[in-house]
Structure 1
Amino acid sequence: MPKSKRDRPVTLSKTKKKGKEHKEVIVNSIRNAVENYKSIYVFSFENMRNLKFKEFREQIKPSRFFLGSNKVMQVALGRSVSDEIQPGLNKVSKFLCGNTGLFLTNMPKEEVESLFNKYEDYDFARTGSMATEKVELPEGPLEQFTHEMEPFLRKQGMPVRLNKGVVELVSDFVVCEEGKPLSPESARILRLLGIKMATFKLHLICRWSAEDFELYREGLDESDVESA
């Protein structure tokens, strides 16, 4: 009698969740990096793109970046004066909130500021992103699309038909409205149209060194971490 597929052994190591040991590795990595780098920055990010971030990270080696659980990063640095690993690092922890990360480096401050301030990259917006402009297609032929795409465009809510093998809008169609979140259909259509509305950008929030602590936004303090 053949064995049931249900009886096949499953390697538990493949499904094991990241637990305490993984968190300890991150904490130790951050603490070791603190010993090796003179400056620590907290930065926030908009429209994160992993590939673009990897490219940016390659530009400024051998510095270190840390992204992940804000609470784990806070524990690594210390959340209060009593448990901080270097004087003043508890101030850094307070700004690790939301879409933020750590950057540790020996690069001059001016060079870091220049690299972060200049860097931005445009990409297609994803579902839920806010439209940066209104996009409306007028009634008439859509010659940028082949006739094979007509059924797909119709599924995205576009009032289209085939007219002598040419995709045609039977009425004006608003793809998205400025300041409103993109639906899955709108995001797909914008990609087909080649319209990029997402800007991947990094913002410096604060900088720590053994000599000083600096905030990069005028008037920003610990009560503003939610919006940093």
Structure 2
Amino acid sequence: MAHVAEWKKKEVEELTKIIKSHPVIALVDVAGVPAYPLSKMRDKLRGKALLRVSRNTLIELAIKRAAQELGKPDLEKLADYIEGGAAILATEMNPFKLYKLLEESKTPAPAKPGAVVPKDVVIPAGPTSIPPGPLVGEMQALGIPARIEKGKVSIQKDYTVLKAGEVITEQL
């Protein structure tokens, strides 16, 4: 039988305790969220909810253990939704108020190669603040209808560069 690291056992115990002691439990995918925005989210949640990032397998074990100890087999279904870099969000808050708080705390982040876009990415038609240069050629190579007008790059018509679910390329 394989030896299980002591810290893993303690982490599952702690996660189980968190799950059992809060009436509202949510899973959050924090994969790809940089440290600073994550710390800002923790600040916003402080006093209202506990955000605990851990390994997916440990979270799954804790959910199953809590479901068994609480006699709530439906709780185990939550483990089916673990994906990416999971974290547990535990609170006493009404789930709808929690959702609203999380939506309000969203901040835009720069696009990174390899990231999957959650919604269509559209470059709107019109002038930009971008000065003329090699970027125009690169945009045109990607199919973006760009040209130089009045000393600035101008997009000729709305252009969808990525559809929801597509991956950002290095070139893009």
Task: State TM-score, norm by structure 1.
Answer: 0.49
2:169 & 2:111 partners in 1: Cα distance?
8
Contact 2:20 2:66 in 1 (8 A): no
Quote how far apart the aligned CAs of 1:36 are.
2.6
Deviations 1:96-155 (A, max 9, x none): 1334321111122332121123332112211223683459xxxxx94xxxxxxxxxxxxx
- Is 2:41 aligned against 1:41? no
Partner of 2:39: 54
The structure richer in helix per residue is: 2
Amino acid of the structure 2 residue aligned with 1:78: K
Deviations 1:141-172 (A, max 9, x none): 94xxxxxxxxxxxxxxxxxxxxxxxxx73684
SS of the residue corresponding to residue 173 of structure 1 reads helix
**Runs of at least 4 residues of structure 1 off by over 6 A?**
none
Partner of 2:94: 108
Quote how far apart the aligned CAs of 1:45 are.
5.0
Unpaired stretches in structure 1, ≥5 consecutive residues: 1-18, 136-140, 143-167, 187-228
1:113 & 1:171 partners in 2: Cα distance?
40
Task: State TM-score, norm by structure 2.
Answer: 0.62
SS of the residue corresponding to residue 51 of structure 2 reads strand
The alignment yields a C-alpha RMSD, in angstroms, of: 3.4
The structure-2 alpha-carbon separation of the partners of 1:49 and 1:171, relative to structure 1 and needing over 3 Å to count, comes to closer
Quote how far apart the aligned CAs of 1:25 are.
2.4
Map 1:35-184 to 2 at 5 A.
35-45=20-30, 47-62=32-47, 63-78=49-64, 84-86=68-70, 87=72, 88-129=74-115, 132-133=121-122, 142=131, 169=133, 172-175=136-139, 178-179=161-162, 181-183=168-170
Higher relative contact order (CA 8 A, sep 6+): 1
1:42 & 1:123 partners in 2: Cα distance?
21
Quote how far apart the aligned CAs of 1:55 are.
0.7
Q: Highest CA radius of gyration, 1 or 2?
A: 1
2:52 & 2:106 partners in 1: Cα distance?
19
